Amino acid sequence: MSTGATGFLQRYEDAVGRLPGDSALRAAAAAAFREAGLPGGTQGRRIEAWKYTSLRPVAEANFQVSPRHEAETLLSGLTLLDAPRVVFVDGVLRGDLSVLPAVSIARFADQPDFGTLTWPDREPMVALNTMLATDGVALNVPAGVDGGIVQLVSLSGGQGDFHPRHGIRLGKGASLTVVEVAAGQGAYLLNTVAEIHVAEGAHLTHIRLQDEATTAFHVSTTYADVQAGGTYDSFTLNLGGRLSRTEVHTQLSGPNATAHLNAAQILAGSQHADFTTVVSHAAPSCSSRQTVKNVLGGRSRGVFQGKIAVARHAQKTDGYQMNQALLLSPDAEVDSKPELEIFADDVKCSHGATVGELDAEQMFYLRSRGIPDAEAKSILVRAFLAEALDAVANETIRGLLETAVEQWWERQKA
Strands (E), 358-401: none
Query: Which DSSP helix (H) or strand (E) runs through 87?
Result: strand 85-89
56 binds other proteins (CB under 8 A): no
Q: Using H for helix, E for strand and C for coil, what is the string for 211-277?
A: ECCCCCEEEEEEEEEECCCCEEEEEEEECCCCEEEEEEEEEECCCCCEEEEEEEEEECCCCEEEEEE
Three-state SS at 59: helix
Shortest separation between residue 325's beta carbon and other proteins, angstroms: 16
- Selected from 144, 386, 403, 411, the binder of other proteins by CB under 8 A is 386
DSSP assignment, residue 67?
Answer: P
Site string for other proteins, 363-382 (x = CB under 8 A): -xxxxxxxxxx-xx--xx-x
Shortest separation between residue 240's beta carbon and other proteins, angstroms: 24
Shortest separation between residue 120's beta carbon and other proteins, angstroms: 42
Nearer to other proteins, 22 or 387 (CB): 387
143 binds other proteins (CB under 8 A): no
Nearer to other proteins, 42 or 362 (CB): 362
Contact (CB, 8 A) for 173 and 141 = no
Determine the Cα–Cα distance for residues 115 and 19; give it in Å rounded to an integer: 14
Interface region with other proteins, contact rule CB under 8 A, candidates 193-201, 294-302, 359-367, 399-407: 359-367
Single-letter residue type at 53: T
Determine the Cα–Cα distance for residues 302 and 294; give it in Å rounded to an integer: 6
Site string for other proteins, 304-343 (x = CB under 8 A): ----------------------------------------
356 binds other proteins (CB under 8 A): no
Length of the chain: 414
Shortest separation between residue 374's beta carbon and other proteins, angstroms: 10
Residues that bind other proteins (CB under 8 A): 360-362, 364-373, 375-376, 379-380, 382-384, 386-387
